[in-house]
Amino acid sequence: MPAALTRRILLCLLIAAPAVTMRILGIEFSPVADVLIFGAAVVASAFLLAWAAEAAQKDISGALAIALLALIAVLPEYAVDLYYAYRSGTDPSYLHYAAANMTGSNRLLLGFGWPLVVIVALVVARRVARQKGAVAPHFLQLPNDSRLDIGVLAILGILAFAIPLFGAIPLWFGIGLIVIFGLHLWRAGQVHDEEEEEFVGASALIAGMDTRPRRILVVAMFLGSAAVILSSAEPFADALVASGSALGIDSYFLVQWLAPLASEAPEFIIAVLFALRGKGAAAIGTLIASKVNQWSLLVGSLPVAHLLGGGPTELVLDARQVEEFTLTATQTLLGVAIIIALRFHWWSALGLATLFAG
């Protein structure tokens, strides 16, 4: 294993070690301290997960690899959100937070992640064009393969408006969304991409290893990071709710925005690294696939987790969550309208970011 890769993995393990120790020994500190410790472990593990998922594309190519990468990269978000949904089955006070993390992460991904990647990619493209004496591009051209994800996202965005109308996420509706995700994953597996994948950062170091040790390391990183994330999800989620009261901050706000910042950070960083390398289309493609995963598998799993936690066959939303779902679905369709022609203009990116900031 390259020394540079070893140092990065050890750093992530050291950051996650206090949280693992606390879980094993049953130690608890103040809610704010627990948020910092377990949140740091989630972020560190998310980096390991993202590196391993990206390097796995060395052995899995095409649209399926992008779909799987996007799925694995959002495991931290799944762990926290599904815990709230599961807990709400027996504790009605957690029902308020069941979909908060999902709507916050969803809007963060499109309102901040998409514009950031597009703007960085266009700045890099203009710099390269200036050096070559060519005309600078005014938009990011998406590949034709993106039509599949965009089409599925458009369908999911329309279906999402049924949730505010129901005032709940029924179990049958959730299962339908999971089926859509499965069909999308199967269809993505039929698309073959002959272009050789390019890796950056730690993922490039992993991809450069020999086949057998690379696969062993990728599997070990998957299992280790997933174990830390799943063990940290419960105390992190509980500490978020408790720290809101301790700090005098709306707990819903912390659940909706602080947790997604932690879970989405590695994915954003990797996407920006791709954009800096002139691979803006691949970067935005991964973020679009993540959006599809959130609206299909994640939303569909919420009523299932609620039922397994002892709740009824539908996850009932309060007035605030109905508003949040309506706003999130509207933003999704706006994003689809912007990229449906496979062109992402810089002014569209600024518009999305401005609306998100507002």
Q: What is the mean pLDDT of residues 211-220?
A: 88
Confidence of residue 299 (pLDDT cuts 50, 70, 90): very high
Token pair for 105: 């992460």
Instruction: Determine the Cα–Cα distance for residues 320 and 302; give it in Å rounded to an integer.
Output: 17
Q: What is the mean pLDDT of residues 185-198?
A: 64
Kindly report, residue by residue over 249-273, the tens digit of the pLDDT. Answer: 888 888 888 878 877 777 787 788 7
Return the ∠ at Cα 154 (arms to 60 and 102), rounded to 5°.
Answer: 75
Look at 198 and 182; give whichever has higher pLDDT.
Answer: 182
Structure-model confidence comparison of residues 69 and 149, the more confident one: 149
Q: What is the pLDDT of residue 61?
A: 57
CA dist., res. 330 & res. 328, Å (int):
5
Query: Across residues 231-260, what is the average pLDDT?
Result: 85
Does position 214 have pLDDT exceeding 60, yes or no?
Answer: yes
**Which amino acid is residue 184, in one-letter code?**
H
What pLDDT, on a 0 to 100 scale, did the predictor assign at position 257?
A: 85
Helix, strand or coil for residue 168? Answer: strand
**In angstroms, rounded to a whole number, what is the distance separating the alpha carbons of residues 271 and 281?**
10
Nearest to 67 by CA among 180, 157, 159: 180
| Reported confidence tier of residue 177, pLDDT bands at 50, 70, 90 | very high
The pLDDT tens digits of the residues spanning 82-122 come to 889 999 999 888 888 878 888 988 899 999 999 999 999 99
Kindly list the domain boundaries of the chain, sorted by start residue.
3-357
**How does the average pLDDT of the chain come out, rounded?**
86
Between 63 and 92, residue with greater pLDDT: 92
Give the model's pLDDT for residue 43.
85
| pLDDT over 70 at 354, yes or no | yes
pTM: 0.84
The yes-or-no verdict on residue 147 having pLDDT over 80 is yes
Task: Look at residue 161 in the predicted model and tell me its pLDDT.
Answer: 96
3-class state of residue 202 by DSSP: helix
Chosen CATH of 3-357 out of 1.20.1420.30, 1.25.40.10, 3.40.47.10, 3.30.70.141: 1.20.1420.30
**Residue 196, pLDDT score:** 53
Residue pLDDT, tens place only, 128-145? 888 888 887 888 988 888
Q: Is the per-residue pLDDT at 191 higher than 70?
A: no
Residue 133's pLDDT is 80
Segment among 44-48, 344-348, 354-358 with least mean pLDDT? 44-48
pLDDT classification of 195: cutoffs 50, 70, 90:
low
Binned at pLDDT 50, 70 and 90, residue 79 comes out as confident
Measured distance CA(161)–CA(294) in Å, rounded:
15
The pLDDT assigned to 65 comes to: 58
pLDDT of residue 21: 93
Q: Percentage of the chain surpassing pLDDT 90? A: 35
Rounded mean pLDDT, 263-292: 81
| Residue 290 confidence class, pLDDT cut points 50, 70, 90 | confident
The residue ranking higher by pLDDT, 99 or 156, is 156
If one compares 47 and 305, the residue with the highest pLDDT of the two is 305
Please name the residues in contact with 40: beta carbons below 8 A apart, sequence gap of 6 or more. 15, 16, 18, 19
